[in-house]
Chain A
Amino acid sequence: MTATRLTTPHAPLTITGPVNPEPGRRVTSRGWRLVGYLALVLAVAALLLPFYWMVMSSLKTNSDVFTIPIKWVPDTLVWRNYIDIWQRSDMTTWLKNTLLLSVLVTLLQVFTGSFAAYGFARIRFPGRNLLFLAYIGTIAVPWQSYMIPQFILMSKLHLSNTLWAIVALQAFGAFGVFLMKQFYETIPEELSESARVDGLSEFGIYRRIMLPLSRPALASLTLLTFVTTWNDYLGPLIYLRSPELRTIQLGLRTFISQYNAEYALIMTGSVLSVLPVAVIFLLGQRHFVEGIASTGLKG
């Protein structure tokens, strides 16, 4: 709730009118900084509340998960759920599969996506816009409506019930193409024009100019693709049957459904599957630093 209230333009924007004299301004800005921190801490609390509940529920016995009213702090911490999951399930296989898929899909998506986006953003050729529309168009079709035709097709290609099915499913999406195209378009045309004059090939321009300048966009594409693949449940559910192919989401839910909606275990599994993603995000977000893109660009 607090988070939604934050949506209004943030603190410093409310200073309108003529520029304040410098000293006064510094005081207000320090004040605002404090208010900003306070708001941030409140917002973080609101954002992390379900996660907190997840962690707490994973430390309860199953029949204590749902109580009226909500019990935010369990009386005793039960670690059994974590031991149960590690001992009774095939967590290492799931993690291995998921990691393999996430890395492979992310690499392919980032590479082919950023590559194709250059074609769409910088090279003019007949039919380009139509083709691009086809890309965007497929995003607008709900997956559950074409998943059966797609499944039949993949089965004919002998891809179903293999990890390749998930790679094929996720790696060539339109999302990356669209995202990268939008970012390439913020890079001044003059840069690639002068490189062209210097005799750089189109590939050279992509490699030497576009890629280094779109690092924040590549970072966000990498993070989002990784997270999407990591958290995908429906894809593996439809395509994978063999227990040794299960991904973490599929494995956890199948494991949990064996134990009849045991929410304590569900939450234990959820905590375990979120943590690696959180770590990767924490590392990846460092690439959103001002100044990378702006160096070497016109003022």
Chain B
Amino acid sequence: MKRAIPAVVSTAMALTLVLAGCGGEDEPVDPNAPVTITLAGWSLSSTPEFKTLADGFKATRPNVTVELKEYDAANYDTQMIADLAAGTAPDVYVLKNLRNFYTYQSGGQLLDVSEAGSALGSLPALAPYQVDGKTYAVPYRQDSWVLYYNKELFDKAKVAHPDGSWTWDDYVAAAKQLTAGLKGAGSTATGAYQHVWQSTAQGFALAQTPGADLLSGDLAYLKPYYQRSLDLQAAGAQPTFGTANTNKLSYQVQFGKQQSAMLLMGTWYVATLLNQRKSGEADTFEWGIAPAPQYDRSTAGTSATPVTFGDPTGMGINPKISKSKVAAAQAFLAYVAGEEAGKALAGIGITPARASDPITETLFALDGVPGDDLSKFAYGTHEIRPENPVSNHTAGMQNVLNDLHSAVMSDSKGLDEAITEAQARAKNEVLTQ
């Protein structure tokens, strides 16, 4: 053992030196030479977006091949952190949300891509990726939260369809009327389904409440949103959090199998619902999209711009990419955030970061997408605020708020007590660290 100690210590020292990282190698640059860049993706066989983008880019730049590297969908970031730390990550990788963008950007794991960014023109989803005047990633998807509703269940319960003017109180009233009406019609379906995620309450509260700031440490803005959720579950107008959690209720089944008439969910669900109708996992019924209920009347109605939330999905470049490939990678980034890629993505049911009428038309031309005006309005018109403001405290705050969510929704703690406690934790454990 005595002889072993110095050996172990020196190896450990060597290791910590290794941890300091090392740079990429230099190679001569020739703009037209064939280049292969690697791109991280997940669940490749069922997530066509990566191949769509790679093939679309190949059509515009035949000398560049985008090779896909498959990661695990559920543990993408764990695997990516490990790969980046060890220097084995692909050239271009996806940033699933803004919280992770901060991790990678602040860790120096994203190359400055201002060049690609400046080619994009006005693109609201680009702003969160800009730090100190430099762009570190570009958005290619921008999902946002909307209200999905089952037209047939509304009719069955004899409740008027959403007209785009709803505030949250209207939503709560409708959910209760639906539940009562459906019961009267002999159905066990509930008026609404609120999935177990914290975003279902907190995302809207943060985006819509005037003056709400996740990083201020003042969490009183959450209160009305939770009061309504608790009211709905106490009234039986939506399955309780406990039931949804312990029985692993899936929102796809709740809405797709017509067990709930309304569902607040991100726009990614459009593609899922279409696929599940085709495979028979979801029933075939008349459905529609409405804007998410609003904080007050000022943003409600089809003449206003409703406020909702959602993080963009972006792509960035690994700084360890070899110099000869940087230009091709930048060009790829400019492509994925552009109009053409947008249309290609909309064609497979995905909401691209760029919003334009032709792109909306492409999506609504898909078989099974509702054709009514309100659905188009809800899909195309909104102000999207980020769920995760880019900051070093966001991840910590979201953890604190996740605990608040499960404590309040399971009735383990009173709302006021939980908010007070979360504020204290935010102050002591997150905002001052």
Name A's B-contacting residues (CB within 8 A). Answer: 61-63, 66, 68, 127, 130-131, 134, 147-149, 151-153, 155-156, 160-161, 237-238, 241, 243, 250, 253-254, 257-261, 263
Among B2, B249, B253, the one with the most A-chain Cβ atoms within 10 Å of its Cβ is B253
Q: Is the CB of B72 within 8 A of A254?
A: yes
Across the interface, B253 reaches (CB within 8 A) one of A63, A161, A237, namely A63
Q: Write out the residue numbers on chain A whose beta carbons fall within 8 Å of the beta carbon of B83.
A: 241
Bound CA–CA A130/B71 (angstroms): 42
- Which residue of chain B has the shortest Cβ distance to A68 in the bound complex? B247
Q: Is the CB of B18 within 8 A of A156?
A: yes
- Which residue of chain A has the shortest Cβ distance to B47 in the bound complex? A258
B78 within 8 Å of A by Cβ?
Answer: yes
**Partner-binding segment picked from B85-93, B176-184, B230-238, B391-399:** B85-93
> B56 to nearest A CB, angstroms?
22
- Which residue of chain A has the shortest Cβ distance to B82 in the bound complex? A151
> B201 to nearest A CB, angstroms?
22
Q: Write out the residue numbers on chain A whose beta carbons fall within 8 Å of the beta carbon of B78.
A: 237-238
- Among all A-B residue pairs, the 6 with the closest Cβ atoms: A127-B1, A155-B86, A258-B46, A258-B43, A257-B73, A152-B86
B33 within 8 Å of A by Cβ?
Answer: no
Bound CA–CA A257/B272 (angstroms): 14
**Chain B residues touching A, range:** 35 or more
Told that A63-B253, A134-B1, A160-B86 touch, could you supply 8 new A-B pairs with CB distance under 8 A?
A63-B281, A68-B243, A68-B247, A156-B18, A238-B79, A254-B72, A258-B73, A260-B252
Bound CA–CA A245/B22 (angstroms): 28
B15 within 8 Å of A by Cβ?
Answer: yes
- Which residue of chain B has the shortest Cβ distance to A63 in the bound complex? B253
Q: Write out the residue numbers on chain A whose beta carbons fall within 8 Å of the beta carbon of B9.
A: none
B69 within 8 Å of A by Cβ?
Answer: yes
Bound CA–CA A172/B269 (angstroms): 46
B428 within 8 Å of A by Cβ?
Answer: no
A-B interface contact total, Cβ < 8 Å: 80
Q: Is the CB of B281 within 8 A of A62?
A: yes
Q: Is the CB of A155 within 8 A of B45?
A: no
- Which residue of chain B has the shortest Cβ distance to A70 in the bound complex? B247
Across the interface, A152 reaches (CB within 8 A) one of B2, B85, B281, namely B85
- Which residue of chain B has the shortest Cβ distance to A161 in the bound complex? B88
Q: Write out the residue numbers on chain A whose beta carbons fall within 8 Å of the beta carbon of B247.
A: 66, 68
Q: Is the CB of B45 within 8 A of A151?
A: no
Q: Is the CB of B253 within 8 A of A66?
A: yes
Across the interface, A237 reaches (CB within 8 A) one of B2, B47, B75, B81, namely B75
Q: Is the CB of A254 within 8 A of B43?
A: yes
Q: Write out the residue numbers on chain A whose beta carbons fall within 8 Å of the beta carbon of B15.
A: 149, 152-153
Q: Write out the residue numbers on chain A whose beta carbons fall within 8 Å of the beta carbon of B45.
A: 258
Q: Is the CB of A253 within 8 A of B72?
A: yes
Q: Is the CB of A238 within 8 A of B1?
A: no
